Amino acid sequence: MDWSGKTALVRVDFNVPMLNGQVADDTRIRAALPTLRYLREHGAKVVLLSHLGRPDGKPADKFSLRPVADRAAELLGAPCTFATDCVGPAAEDAVSATGAGEVVLLENVRFHAEEEANDSGFAGQLAGLGDVFVNDAFGTAHRAHASTAGLAEFMPAVAGLLMAKEIVVIGTALEDPKRPFVAIVGGAKVSSKLAVLENLIARVDRLLIGGGMANTFLKAQGREVGQSLLEPDLVEAATNLLALGNKIVLPTDVVVTTDLKGSAPPRTCSADQVGPEEMIVDIGPASVGVFRIEIGHAGTVLWNGPMGVFEDPRFAAGTLAVAHAMADSSATTIVGGGESVQAVEQAGLADRLTHVSTGGGASLEFIEGKVLPGVAALKGDCS
């Protein structure tokens, strides 16, 4: 696009963790910087739209984006002014006062119920503030809201650089991966990731399963899992997935405890020696060895979900080992959102991976193979 003299209405996902009125984690703000810098350098006036939290259609101080504007300015090394509303006179005045190459962040779009309702009158009001809609909010692309999808009805709509990177990197892994393609899926429940597993199994060469969800698969193989988290209703689904060839790799050994909340050292045992009082809380060292080999041989690795209760250092070894194996691998390595991102950040390994997604729910829905409304809205004639 030719940006000179244009106002870019940029939807970002600045829905960042806050603590005591301050930004507690600025990863999502940093991830948007390439788009903001690009637009500034090309002479656009940059008007930022975002939500923060779930204020339910009403203004609320604790969901104000004002502290986020301050952090954005620090990271940008340039002013980021703030408007107390995203529509109406406050927004219009702030946009008028912003010059070419300057940046203004408008207040939380979810302070208006019309945002989540994808109200077209509201989208039209937002659209009146700019010339081109730039959607860089991959993290919110699974929502069909006024500022994520509705705006595209009113103006040319293009992907920002972060959005494009997310779609290209994760999309290529799903559609045309460098093989072997290894997916690692963890987290507590099969139920929340069944669609992910079903979509991945058709595409990957290996599917490594850890975390609480592995218990349901172990059960499907006839093993006893003691007091471990188990979803009896999903044992049949797990059995069906296991029957689809030999792609699934389960932990062969596990870390168990009878003392989840305490500090007793855990025990490591074979996956078929879990006692009736014990609970599986991590994958064991032999499983780590197998996972490491699979990751080492891969052309593409896609990871979502921790291997155990990694918030507790006693049960974090498996998750951290996967993070390290990915960092050491020469494969295209992708961490698809949520808690596995936290693990990678904690271990200081994010820079050594090809891509760490800014999407939680959005990454999951993308990996499920769903159409993301915020992406679908961009398809079409932008001329």
Interface contacts to ligand 3PG, rule CB under 6 A: 13, 15, 54, 139-140, 143, 360-361
**3-class SS of residue 262:** coil
**Residue 134 CB, nearest distance to ligand 3PG (Å)?**
17
Number of residues that bind Mg ion (CB under 5 A): 1
Q: Of 29 and 331, which CB lies nearer to ligand 3PG in the complex structure?
A: 29
**Residue 34 CB, nearest distance to Mg ion (Å)?**
23
Q: Of 67 and 361, which CB lies nearer to ligand 3PG in the complex structure?
A: 361
Q: Of 329 and 358, which CB lies nearer to ligand 3PG in the complex structure?
A: 358
**Residue 54 CB, nearest distance to Mg ion (Å)?**
9
Structure tokens at 70: 């301050």
Q: Report the residue closest to Mg ion, judged by CB.
A: 361
Is residue 165 annotated as a catalytic residue, yes or no? no
Rounded Cα gap, residues 109 and 19, in angstroms: 21
**Residue 362 CB, nearest distance to ligand 3PG (Å)?**
7
Query: Considering the rule CB under 5 A, would residue 53 count as an interface residue with Mg ion?
Result: no
What is the 3-class SS of 52-113, one letter each residue? CCCCCCCCCHHHCCHHHHHHHHHHHCCCEEEECCCCHHHHHHHHHCCCCCCEEEECCHHHCH
Q: Of 85 and 365, which CB lies nearer to Mg ion in the complex structure?
A: 365
Strand partners, 334: 302, 355
Residues 357-376: x where in contact with Mg ion by CB under 5 A, - otherwise, as a string: ----x---------------
Nearest to 171 by CA among 150, 141, 192: 141
DSSP at 46: E
Query: Considering the rule CB under 5 A, would residue 59 count as an interface residue with Mg ion?
Result: no
**Residue 15 CB, nearest distance to Mg ion (Å)?**
8
Q: Of 34 and 361, which CB lies nearer to Mg ion in the complex structure?
A: 361
Residues 302-361 that bind Mg ion (CB under 5 A): 361
CA distances from 327 to 27, 173, 209, 211 (A): 19, 17, 19, 20
Choosing from 11, 28, 206, 219, the catalytic residue is: 28
User: In b/e form, how buried is each residue of 110-149, taking b as 16+ CB within 10 angstroms?
Assistant: bbbebbbebbeebbbbbbebbbbbbbbbbbbbbbbbbbbb
Is residue 28 annotated as a catalytic residue, yes or no? yes
Rounded Cα gap, residues 294 and 288, in angstroms: 10
What single-letter amino acid sits at 372?
Answer: L
Choosing from 101, 128, 361, 369, the catalytic residue is: 361
Catalytic residues: 28, 189, 338, 361
- The residues that touch Mg ion, with contacts defined as CB under 5 A, are 361
